[in-house]
Structure 1
Amino acid sequence: MTRTIPQVKTQAGGNVPQELLDRAKEKIEKLSGRAPEPVLAARVRLTMGPDPERPALAQANLDVNGRIIRVQTAASTMSEAVDILEDRMAERLRRVARHWEAVRGGQPRPREWRHNAEPTQRPAYYPRPMEDRQVIRHKSYELPSATPDEAAFDMEALDYDFHLFTDVATGQDSVLYRHADAYRMAQTDPKPRRESTAIDLTVSPHPAPRITVREAIERLEATGLPFTFFADAETGRGNVLYHRYDGHYGLITPAG
């Protein structure tokens, strides 16, 4: 059956030549035809950022039959960023296809999600002076209720460094992130878990610190980590504060 490939929406930020935007659009359109499920929507964004070493940022989002597949990369030139974007999206679609095939056969194999995958190339955040840094993006959504295995798959498909969700087994607001060659999960108030996972997982025994956003910023800067997980001082819900590529901060909170 011939699938209809959706028109790829494009967006540019900064001085991005139209020919590179068209080139990125063409590459993502071709990859959409190779997706394991129908692609319902597609978007490409190219942005020139402030980082003098890797200013070119390229991002692509595909809605593959309701599952969002996201890739983001950075490079010294936009032409290079677009080529890397194509390669990584192709590999991500291959991994997603293997997962879907395994699920249909009743034998999910989450360990394959990152098998032989190259390390994600994250855009380094711009070293903006601390006194100029602000929380310029606040994203709030209803946290998905998921198992660590499901959270890991979503995190990889979305190309995230971490994933904020509610753990099905404990009901705790939790954050999952990569730790060496495995995964680690932190929770607002860790509870013993009896359920096994297909992914290699360790759970932090320490509860999330109950602090304000200002205190979370101080903690983030003190640790030098890319993000910090904390319990909001007023609500007690799990929040994540992270470094954005432009040197400012992003904040993720549960809706309500």
Structure 2
Amino acid sequence: MSARRNVTREHPAVAVSGPVTAEESAYAQRVIGDVLATVDHAAERLRARLSPYGGYDTTAFTVVAQVNVAVRARMIRVQTAAPTVREAIEQAAAGLLLRLHRLDQHLAAERSGDVGFVAGEWCSPYPQSPIGLAGPRTAAGRIVRMKDYHLAVQTPDSAAFAMDLRDYPFHLFVDDATGGDALVHRDGATGYSLHRSVPAPAPAGLTVPLTIQRWPAVPMALARAVQLLNAAPDRRFLFFTDPRSRRARVLYRRFDGQFGLLAPAW
């Protein structure tokens, strides 16, 4: 990737929550802006957020940095967690540079007609213990955020690439081969797994190194999903289907130890 040829020099607006100083916000703008200045194409819809989390133990404190930007109509997202604001910002900037480079390689391959899937390096932004940010918990986690959105119709290849660019541990989509909801996530011997909401044969002609879950997602009530995730503190998410609609849902663990729910929009 060539250096500093971007047509834009706009720095991202930093939305700050919690005890983050103006100096730290300015540092985030400068460091992230310097990374975006290396991009050959215009960077749009720039957003960065710094969110400090304190646990039940007042000595536990972690800063989560998230950066979102669109380049060539591809959404790139990076999320990192670190003990200090500066470390979180610097890790997010490093992760953003890696994903911009990955996109640059992919676009070059598209132009040459030789597009394959190269597994991207990924390190979970979560602490070693999923409940490390919240400290010791005496109460069960509960759903504090629900998000529904229109799922993209994709191949597992394109879904896995989108997951890499967006720094997700999983990506919910509609499988173009079956028309059913599906999930790619980071797991298995290959590093990537595919789980679908309907029974289907293994997909053919893919370039992503997938481990295929042979069984479809289990239908269950939301209350049961919450119960199961609370019973498995090392598990980061649960993929299941609504018993009535048979549409997929993902219950996931947030940085604060509570749960979020993803579901398709009708």
Deviation at 1:161, TM superposition (A): 0.4
Correspondence for 2:105: 98
Q: In structure 2, list runs of 5 or more residues that go unmatched.
A: none
Deviations 1:35-63 (A, max 9, x none): 24321121111111124545111111111
Distance in structure 2 (CA, Å) of the matches to 1:2 and 1:77: 30
Q: 1:186 aligns with which of 195, 198, 205?
A: 195
Residue of structure 2 aligned with 1:205, choices 197, 214, 217: 214
When structure 1 is superposed on structure 2, of 149-158 and 211-220 the one drifting more is 211-220
Alpha-carbon displacement from aligned partner over 1:210-230 (angstroms, at most 9, x marks no partner): 111111111222344100000
2:21 to 17, 20, 23: 17
Can you list the C-alpha shifts for 1:7-54, whole angstroms capped at 9, x where unaligned? 411111110111111011111112222124321121111111124545
Equivalent residue for 1:176, pick from 184, 189, 197: 184
Q: Which residue of 2 aligns with 1:233?
A: 243
Distance 2:151 2:210 in 1: 20
The aligned counterpart of 1:246 is 256
SS at match of 2:144: strand
Aligned to 1:162: 170
Cα shift readout 1:177-213 (whole Å, capped 9, x = no counterpart): 0114421111112201342210111211112111111
3-state SS in 2 of match to 1:48: strand
Q: Pick which of 31-40 and 159-168 moved more.
A: 31-40
Residue 231 of structure 2 is matched in structure 1 by 222
Change (3 A) 1:61 1:2: closer
Letter of the structure 1 residue corresponding to residue 228 of structure 2 = R
Shift of 1:127: 4.5
Please give the per-residue CA displacement for 1:119-157, whole angstroms capped at 9, x wherever unaligned: 233254425636353211111011110001100011011
Q: Which of 45, 48, 63 matches 2:49?
A: 45
Q: When the two structures are superposed, what TM-score results if normalisation uses the length of structure 1?
A: 0.92
Q: Which has the higher mean CA deviation after the structures are superposed, 118-127 or 152-161?
A: 118-127
Q: Is the 8 A contact 1:184 1:204 kept in 2?
A: yes
Task: Note if contact 1:162-1:175 (Cα within 8 Å) is conserved in structure 2.
Answer: yes
Structure 2 residue matching 1:129: 3-state secondary structure: coil
AA partner of residue 8 (structure 2): T
Matched position secondary structure for 1:59: strand
| Contact preservation (8 Å) 1:6, 1:40 | no
User: How many residues of Structure 1 are paired with residues of Structure 2 in the alignment?
Assistant: 253
Cα 1:71–1:79 shift into 2, 3 Å: same
One-letter identity of the residue aligned with 2:238: T
Whole-angstrom distance in 1 between the partners of 2:228 and 2:16: 34
Q: 2:144 aligns with which of 136, 156, 173?
A: 136
Cα distance in 1 between the residues matched to 2:157 and 2:30: 33
> What secondary structure is seen at the aligned counterpart in 1 of 2:192?
strand
Contact 1:61 1:71 in 2 (8 A): yes
In structure 1, list runs of 5 or more residues that go unmatched. Answer: none
1:62 aligns with 2:35: no
- Distance in 2, Cα, partners of 1:129 & 1:2: 47
More displaced 10-residue stretch of structure 1: 56-65 or 145-154: 56-65
